[in-house]
């Protein structure tokens, strides 16, 4: 135990703004004190690591486009609790700035700088019609469950 | 560590279609690479292991029936993010088939075949008026928290 | 392993009634069989450990008050799945009493009696304009992520 690096792995399932903030707060906080951190983005969490919103339409069919609509992309994440037509995430970002707390964009940047590992879930990408080239270049690998479990072995694992 | 079998235990709390997919994807993926897997179904997660929808009304009182209405049973699970009057789970199932990914029904069957352990939460059953005979026969045992913690000790534990 | 006390740490993120019940059921169940239990309240979970609803307005500005409105305080927690204008939590409490299960208030009291550790998340308090004096006196400390990870090390960690 003492010899190995501490490890935190998070399955980032939710696309809600507040939960994504939680993911990156935990990730950067852990990385800052020397943890190896693995983020495994799946389902709506894939939004967080998508390149652009509405630019290149994912997939080809109509159903792919419906899911594309459901998956807004980073910068358009709803709030899990109350949304008020999209006002709340902006409100929360404003509160974060006002109270001198890192915003989501800053947290994501910090995660990159701190060498947090970004992984994308193979199966969710298949279901939702997301391709590797739709994701930010920081995504290290597209993985299945078995590989993710192997990577996270011996550390803490959270599902958010 | 090396001698004991790896273990993954999941508290399956949510009744949302996408989260239940996540539960069974993780469970089958882990079992396939040799993990002991324990699923502990509680609250809305009990829906996943209920025998039939609306057939035998659970409990006797009116309140039991209200909760029964809230708890639709497998085959009627909503989607956590957007539901569109029940269209999304069908849409997702369609996408899964189209993209050659295992559907929820197939994942549940695979979990059974892979000897994943199904447990039901005693307290949630009491609150929601669910009885042992309302559950699928694969449910190994009705447990309290202490027993669940004992079963999951030394492995990874997720709350979904 | 054998020498150290078993440990369960929960990040209590949600303010939903049913999820808060899950937090305290797991916490008291674990504490009752000898676990050290750490609860780390963050975001909407802070509601659970707020002193009173609407009494002392948190923060000073209008935005603080908007968040204050979003954060109702204990006794006013919504249900994650369906709420029916606030009827469901009462319904669930009624079912819990009827079926002789501990209610949320009883679970919180039991957690205090069993020496469960209550911690509050520093960053979420900053974002949401919650102050130390707004919290119940049982809150042991206001912590950041690094300290929480240190406290929870070597045990199970859940995000609820």
- pLDDT, tens digit, 9 for 90 and up, residues C22-36: 999 999 999 999 999
Torsions phi, psi for A120 (to 5 deg): -115, 145
**Full-prediction pTM beyond 0.90?**
no
User: Given this model, what pLDDT does residue C60 score?
Assistant: 52
Considering only alpha carbons, which residue of chain B is nearest residue A80?
A: B81
* Interface residue C95 vs chain A (CB under 8 A): no
Please indicate whether, in this complex, the C-beta atoms of B146 and C6 are within 8 angstroms of each other: no
Say yes or no: A22 contacts chain C, CB-CB below 8 A.
yes
Considering the domain boundaries, does residue B95 fall inside one? yes
Q: Give the residue from chain A lying closest to B12, CA to CA.
A: A159
Q: Is residue B1 part of a domain?
A: no
Q: Which helix (H) or strand (E) holds B19?
A: helix B17-32
Helices (H), C35-144: 62-70, 87-98, 104-113, 122-128
Q: Is residue A54 part of a domain?
A: yes
Structure tokens at C40: 């780390």
Contact criterion met (CB < 8 Å) for C157 and A159: no
- Determine the Cα–Cα distance for residues B141 and B148; give it in Å rounded to an integer: 10
pLDDT for the residue B90: 84
Cα C104 to Cα C95: distance, rounded to the nearest angstrom: 12
Residue C28 near residue C111, CB atoms below 8 Å: yes
What token pair was written down for A93? 């970002």
What pLDDT shows up at residue B63?
A: 63
Closest among A39, C31, A114, C80 to C10, alpha carbons compared: C31
Nearest residue of A to residue C160 by CA position? A160
Positions in chain B whose pLDDT score sits under 50 = 1-3, 55-59
Question: What single string gives the DSSP state of each residue in A33-96?
Answer: TT-EEEEEE-GGGGGGGBS-SSSS-SSSSHHHHHHHHH---TT-PPPSS--TTTHHHHHHHHHH
B50 in a structural domain: yes
* CB–CB contact C43 A30 (8 Å): no
- Total domains in chain A come to 1
Asked whether residue A132 is domain-assigned, the answer is: yes
Q: Is residue B3 part of a domain?
A: no
Chain C residues whose CB is inside 8 A of the B62 CB are: none
**Interface-testing mutation among C43, C62, C80, with chain A (most A C-beta atoms within 10 A):** C43
Which residues form the domain of C90? 7-159
User: For chains B and C, what is the number of CB pairs under 8 angstroms?
Assistant: 65
Of B29, B91, B100, the CB nearest to A146: B29
Which letter, b or e, does each residue of A7-39 get, where b requires 16 or more Cβ atoms within 10 Å of its Cβ? Answer: bbbbbbbbbbbbbbbbbbbbbbbbbeeebbbbb
Residue B51 CA, chain-centre distance (Å), reads 12
Q: Does A111 touch chain C (CB under 8 A)?
A: no
Contact A95 C13 (CB under 8 A): no
Q: Which residues from B are below 8 Å from A3, CB to CB? A: none
C1 occurs within a structural domain: no
> Any CB–CB contact under 8 A between B59 and chain A?
no
| Nearest chain C Cα distance for residue A114, angstroms | 14
Q: Could you tell me the CATH number of the domain that includes residue A110?
A: 3.40.1260.10
Cβ-based neighbour number of residue A86 at 10 Å? 14
Using a CB–CB cutoff of 8 Å, tell me whether A2 touches chain C: no
Q: Which residue has the tokens 């994701």?
A: A135
Residues of B in contact with C101 (CB under 8 A): 123, 126-127
Q: What is the pLDDT along chain A (160 residues), one digit of tens a residue?
A: 444 789 999 999 998 999 999 999 999 999 999 999 999 999 999 989 998 655 444 445 666 666 666 666 666 777 776 666 667 788 888 888 888 888 888 999 999 999 999 999 999 999 888 999 999 999 999 999 999 999 999 999 999 9
Residue from the list A29, A81, A101 with its beta carbon closest to the beta carbon of C44: A81
ipTM of the prediction: 0.85
* Other beta carbons less than 10 A from residue C80's beta carbon: 24
Q: Taking CB atoms and an 8 Å cutoff, what residues of chain C touch B152?
A: 156
What pLDDT does A10 receive?
A: 98
Most A CBs within 10 Å: which of B14, B20, B29, as the mutation test of the A interface?
B29
Residue of C nearest to B153 (CA): C156
The predicted structure's pLDDT at residue B91? 81
Closest residue, chain C, to B42 (C-alpha): C22
User: Is B13 in Cβ contact with C22 (below 8 Å)?
Assistant: yes
Who among A33, A82, A96 is closest to C127 (CB)?
A96
- Tell whether the torsion through CA atoms of A95, A101, A106 and A107 is positive or negative: negative
Rg for chain C, CA atoms, rounded: 16
Please tell me which of the candidates A92, A157, A158 has its beta carbon nearest to residue C127.
Answer: A92
Kindly state whether residue B4 falls inside one of the protein's structural domains: no
Average pLDDT of the segment spanning C57-71: 59
Determine, for residues B22 and A42 on separate chains, whether the beta-carbon distance falls below 8 Å. yes
Q: Does B69 reach chain C within 8 Å, measured CB to CB?
A: no
Residue identified by tokens 């501490």 is A6
CB atoms within 10 A of CB B69: 11
């Amino acid at each position: 135990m003492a010899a190995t690096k501490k490890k935190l792995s998070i399955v980032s399932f939710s696309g809600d703004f507040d939960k994504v903030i939680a993911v990156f707060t935990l990730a950067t906080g852990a990385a800052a004190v020397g943890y190896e951190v693995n983020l495994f983005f799946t389902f709506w969490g894939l939004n967080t690591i998508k390149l652009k919103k509405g630019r290149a339409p994912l997939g080809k069919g109509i159903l792919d486009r419906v899911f594309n609509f459901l998956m807004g992309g980073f910068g358009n994440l709803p709030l899990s609790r109350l949304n008020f037509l999209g006002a709340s995430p902006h409100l929360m970002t404003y509160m974060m700035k006002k109270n001198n707390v890192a915003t989501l964009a800053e947290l994501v940047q910090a995660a990159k700088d701190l060498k947090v590992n970004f992984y994308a879930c193979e199966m969710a990408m298949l279901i939702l019609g997301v391709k590797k080239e739709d994701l930010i270049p920081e995504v290290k690998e597209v993985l299945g469950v078995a590989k993710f479990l192997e990577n996270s072995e011996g550390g803490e694992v959270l599902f958010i």
